[in-house]
Amino acid sequence: MRTSEFDPLSLEIFDRQLKKVTLVVLAVFGVLVLRFWFLQVVNGSVYRTKSENNRIRLQDISPFRGMVLDRNGATLVDNRPSYDLYVVPEEVQDLEELLERLSLLAGLGAEEAEQKLDDTSLRYPFRPVCLKRDLSRDELAKVETHRFNLPGVIIKAAPQRHYINGTFASHLIGYLGEINENQLSSGQYTGSKPGDLIGKSGVEWKWQRDLNGVRGGAQVEVDATGRKIRVMARKPPVPGENVCLTIDKDLQAVAEKALAGKSGAIVAMDPNNGEILALASGPSFDPNLFVGGIDRASWEGIVLSGAFPLQNRALSGQYPPGSVFKIVVALAGLEEGIIDPEEEVVCTGIYYLGRRGYRCWKKYGHGKVSLHRALVESCDVYFYDMGHRLGIDKISEYAMRFGLGKRTGFDPVHEKAGLIPTRDWKLKRWGVPWQGGETLSTAIGQSFVLVTPIQMAAFASAVFNGGILYRPQVTRWVGKSETEKTHEFAPVVTGKIGIKQEHLEFVKNALIGVVNEPHGTGGRARLKEVTVAGKTGTSQVIALKKEEEFESEENIPVQYRDHAWFVAVAPAENPRIAVAIVVEHGGHGGSAAAPIAGQLIKAYLGLDKSVLAESATN
């Protein structure tokens, strides 16, 4: 194109328009620069604070933990709302000042809270840390009123475990506690985070994964004060499954009332399938204390108590069985042909082995006694003689066959095995051989013999159900409801005692006599409406000579008094309930434990509605 083709007038107009456009562009650019300068320089600190605090928070939504029910569907454990105080470490500028304020507003322990924040903030600065659970209404109101001056503070509403009847069945149900670092790193608690509560014992521990459910979450936009602006996304939590137990709530209440103020244990079992109908251990504890984080004073009061309320005596309490063990010796003697049921032994109140005399509980003796009367009146001399004839090897063999000296397999909590002594055991343990006198003591349930109440309930059941040992179980099903079950449990047979039926029948008739014959030691368990069979036991805590130094039973200090045992089954002809009871330092089984068995049997079989009505109101 040649220059001569351009019109000078057009070039002049073009130049003027270009200048105008350039001025407009420069003006717009200048306004933008000015605006950027105003935002970043003049108000930079203000918007920096807003940009740092206007964030999207990822909030956990805790699931509802599954309920715990009794065999009839009555709720034993559920959930209630709790308002918990959290702090996001990264958003706290002055930790000391914040904790001081929270201490005044919510009664927060500053030292403990600071330790929690220090442990977590270095690794997870954006993760909220729970400093206090279950704020009271007044504490919640104070914190919410001052939220503008509490940077990083979050209040979360979450379901909290609620043990409806406090100490009710606490050893069986268990309690919750905050997860620790070892548990988090173990890989057994998938999806758990610091601050979460998990089952620490009992049913809560056994069925932790099923009860716990799956947490949900939400994306929440918040402002500089931490107040929620809007929920951007939400994933609902999945509630945990329910656990239905085999225990009967009313019977459990009767058992716990019977143990009130005492140390001991009660186990009631269905002898036909091994289901636990009641399991009580005293003294007890309130698992609600652990849910919100137990304070130091309360914790020390529990663990330093000489009564050991956290111990489940029904499973881990190991006691000499006393005369209840005579059932084992009687059946062993019959089975081995050592005992002739009609043979009589003369009891003068003392039995000599060599130069040493072994006393009967009846000072002047029972006179001539056969096996039936020896069981009914619990004659020690008769069983000294039969134990000496049997020998420790046979006694131990039969005791172990009956499930003693080993764990029953009961699942929710750790149980003890007890002890059935043998020659080899003593030689290995003490380095000395077995002595003949120890066989005599073993024959009446003393010496080294130790059993647990749950073992004795399973043993008594086997004697009356035809010789079948069932594994004690406490869970019927796990699931959303009775029609939607994830797990369901059938009876488990762990063994058969292998005793001839005629021998079992003989001993069963004698145990009926213990309760129902005029001189039976268990007469206080007798009921008009049903035939009860049972056996008393009194296990010594100190030697008989030492007891005699106190001149009378009333003068013996409580810690030196004998433990009282009683096992019972009813109805004897068609058993529906077996009971094992031990009252620590209760004295005689016939007076301290037998009446409790009568109460339990009456309640379970519905023979005395007043017992159930009274237990329901307590």
Q: Given the structure tokens 């010594």, which residue do they identify?
A: 540
DSSP string, 424-457: HHHHHHHSS---HHHHHHHHTT-TT-BB-HHHHH
Distance CA 568, CA 566 (A): 7
Dump the DSSP string for 231-245: EEEEE--BPPPEEEE
Cα–Cα distance list, 403 to 30, 454, 530 (Å): 94, 11, 28
Q: Report the DSSP beta bridge partners of residue 493.
A: 470
User: Which is catalytic among the residues 82, 170, 201, 323?
Assistant: 323
Let me know if 351 is exposed, middle or buried by CB neighbors in 10 A (0-12, 13-18, 19+). buried
To 10 degrees, what angle do helices 95-106 and 137-145 make? 140
Closest C-alpha among 289, 277, 614, 321 to residue 459: 321
**How many helices (H) and strands (E) in the chain?**
25, 23
d(C-alpha 611, C-alpha 618), whole Å: 11
Q: In whole angstroms, give the CA distance from residue 537 to residue 320.
A: 9
3-state secondary structure 560-616: HCCEEEEEEEECCCCCCEEEEEEECCCCCHHHHCHHHHHHHHHHHCCCCHHHHHHHH
Label residue 231 exposed, middle or buried (CB < 10 Å: 0-12, 13-18, 19+).
exposed
Which of 193, 175, 200 has its CA nearest to residue 68? 175
C-beta of residue 419 within 8 angstroms of C-beta of residue 430: no
Query: Token pair of 477, please?
Result: 């099903």
Q: Where are the beta strands (DSSP E) in 214-302?
A: 216-222, 228-235, 242-245, 264-269, 276-282
Instruction: Identify any residues that bridge with 465 across adjacent strands, giving them in sequence order.
Output: none
Residue 578 CA to residue 477 CA, distance in Å, equals: 22
Reading phi first (left if > 0) and then psi (alpha if -120 to 50, else beta), residue 324 is in alpha
- Are 160 and 292 within 8 A, CB to CB? yes
Q: For tokens 């406090």, name the residue.
A: 166
Using the structure block, give the residue that is written with the tokens 């029972």: 366
Is the preceding peptide bond at 283 cis, omega within 30 degrees of 0? yes
Most distant CA pair in the chain, distance:
153
Q: Tokens for 391, please give them.
A: 């020998």
Q: 345-348 contacts: CB < 8 A, separation 24 or more?
A: 345/369, 345/370, 345/374, 345/379, 345/381, 345/382, 345/385, 345/386, 346/381, 347/379, 347/380, 347/381, 347/382, 348/381
In angstroms, rounded to a whole number, what is the distance separating the alpha carbons of residues 130 and 160? 14
According to the 3-state scheme, what is the secondary structure of 2-56? CHHHCCHHHHHHHHHHHHHHHHHHHHHHHHHHHHHHHHHHHCHHHHHHHHHHCEE
d(CA 444, CA 83): 58
10 labelled catalytic: no
Q: Which residues are catalytic?
A: 323
